[in-house]
Structure 1
Amino acid sequence: MRRKNIILTVLMFLFVNILSMAVENSTTLSDTIGLVNPAYQEVLKDYKPNLENIDKTFNYIEKNIKEKGRAIYYSKFEKGKNEIVITDENDNIIYTEKMSEKLAEITPYFEAKQIYQLKNGKTLEYSETNIRVLDKKVKIKSETLMKNKMNKKDAIKSLSLIGDLTNPINNTFSNTEYLKLETYDENNNLFQRIYYRNNKMTIEQEVEGNQAKMIYLFDNTNLMSGKLETYMNGKLFSIMQIKNFIPEGEVKMFYPSGKLLSIFNLKNEQIDGIVKAFFENGKLMGIANFKDGLQDGEAIEYDENGNVIKKVSYKNGKIIK
């Protein structure tokens, strides 16, 4: 089908960018490394938050906000010592935390500055995080306003070295009033913006010279699921359903005019079921069937007058007739 390459190209773009949405608060190691190394999650299975260190950080924040109106501290990964060092603004150590050899081995360069203060009685956090991704330095700036003042229960989720592993998306956004995040490349050029408020996340970035925008509308009961709208150069490009933070269900793609280009279904991150493509005038361009990501069954292509111009039969992605 003529539009097959377009569909696959767009899907690749969407999958890559959906991963980027996981950077909801990249001041913890699990957020940053997990994006580029899925095996990292295996290493974290034996990790347990150090409650004593969390208490030290929480008490430091509370004390400094009360005395100075804000608290500043720094995090740095010492590769040779396999540990994270947390220091105050005068370079005094608040605590150090040893990392397992496996965890240290796959941890990239990591440095962060965090500032905590109160805004209308709610905790406001600003952070600057420097990491290395695929041998390139990346800087992430974020501002997060919580829905209330951070307490010790919140601190266990927010201040742990690795963050909250139980359900990081739901637990982060359930207590977030708004989040603003900007990502810069090694030349300090801004290449991605993320904004979250009221179960709606907007991501903007340049993709191959095009201005791409994604709007993720979270489900009210499960922030891992919802609807994802993608725009290219200000025009609606696609709408898809998200389940457990991956594409699952119906996908619609559109022409720049807003007319429907194609409709298909995703299952287990693969095209599954009937795929229909349309001319811009609304007439059917082609129809095919997919099974587990491979064409399976008859594919028919039509001209703009509705005449059949081609029929091909597939089995497991191979032409049989």
Structure 2
Amino acid sequence: MKRKNLFLILLMFLLYSVISFADNVKDITKYLEATMKNKGELNFVLKYEKSDNSISTYTEDGKFIYKNISLSDTDTLEYSNGVKIKISERNGKLKPFIEANISNGEAIIRAEYILKKPIDLKKIAKNGINMNLIENVELDNIVSAKSQIQILSQIKSTTELKNRISTTKIYSMSGEFLRYTVYKYGKTFTEGVVEEYAPNGEVLTINEIKDGVLNGEAKFYEGSKLRGIAHYKNNILDGEALEFNEKGEVIRRWYYKDGVEIKK
């Protein structure tokens, strides 16, 4: 598989937006719990269905678990066909890992945890597997966690989570350290403040997140100096936007409503 396609898959795993459908959650939960008890791990296979642009998840023995229908128009979903996902408790119920194997190992995504209590398999049965693997466990249940994305045996992203703060480092295909982000979570993974930094530690952006998207104030920096402020509502520009010069003076002001610039 081409490297470009691998990056498309990884983008899907990090930015996946879906509606999930699962039938007989109670029965599926019992099945998953029994399998985990007997084998110490669960193995799933993703299958892409072009007819409704969906991804269905099956166990390794062919049992249907749930279906995800994409909310976005994307060609990356077809590359998920055949992706294998494992949830393992072989290192202990409080030290599980989740691993996604893409294109026969050309790309590997792995998340490891230290938990307060075992993974809630009912949540997996009801909502499916979150493609951002580290978020498959409730935030309150995590003592610490770490994950990494590996492409062609090279690490391209690492994340460490502790005390509701995660730090993610991003690397290029050539191994160059590009940037890192710090996510300070609120009550859940879908709310908080995310900060982006250059390799030298200079702040680039600080954004407020709610419901998994931009909601609230967003700040933009150059050379660690504040150069812009915008406001978002459900990931759309909404409210006042400001541009600053190097002295911190306002040099431009806009107003937006539902993503459209308006005059005031």
Q: Same fold (TM over 0.5)?
A: yes
- 1:54 and 2:32 equivalent? yes
For 2:47 and 2:193, how far apart are their aligned partners in 1? 40
Give the deviation of 1:143 after TM superposition: 0.9
Give the deviation of 1:238 after TM superposition: 1.3
Q: Deviations over 1:65-113 (max 9, x none)?
A: xxxxxx4564445889x87344xxxxxxxx541367998x976212234
For 1:267 and 1:231, how far apart are their aligned partners in 2? 23
Q: CA RMSD in A?
A: 3.8
CA contact (8 A) 1:57 1:159 kept: no
Who is 2:145 aligned against? 179
Who is 1:143 aligned against? 112
For 2:22 and 2:30, how far apart are their aligned partners in 1? 20
Structure 2 CA distance for partners of 1:83 and 1:288, relative to 1, 3 Å: closer
- 1:200 and 2:157 equivalent? no
Who is 2:83 aligned against? 110
Structure 2 CA distance for partners of 1:278 and 1:129, relative to 1, 3 Å: same
Structure 2 CA distance for partners of 1:260 and 1:161, relative to 1, 3 Å: closer
For 1:145 and 1:102, how far apart are their aligned partners in 2? 28
Give the number of the structure with larger relative contact order, counting CA–CA contacts within 8 Å between residues 6 or more apart.
2
Q: Deviations over 1:161-194 (max 9, x none)?
A: 9248xxx959622211111111122x23221112
With normalisation by structure 1, the TM-score equals 0.60
Partner of 1:124, secondary structure, is: coil
For 1:102 and 1:201, how far apart are their aligned partners in 2? 27
Structure 2 CA distance for partners of 1:35 and 1:283, relative to 1, 3 Å: closer
Give the deviation of 1:230 after TM superposition: 1.0
Paired-residue identity, %: 18
Structure 2: runs of 5+ lacking an equivalent: 1-9, 50-55, 70-76
For 2:220 and 2:213, how far apart are their aligned partners in 1? 17
Structure 1: runs of 5+ lacking an equivalent: 1-18, 24-31, 62-70, 87-94, 299-321
Equivalenced residues, count: 233
The one-letter code matched in structure 2 to 1:53 is Y
- 1:129 and 2:107 equivalent? no
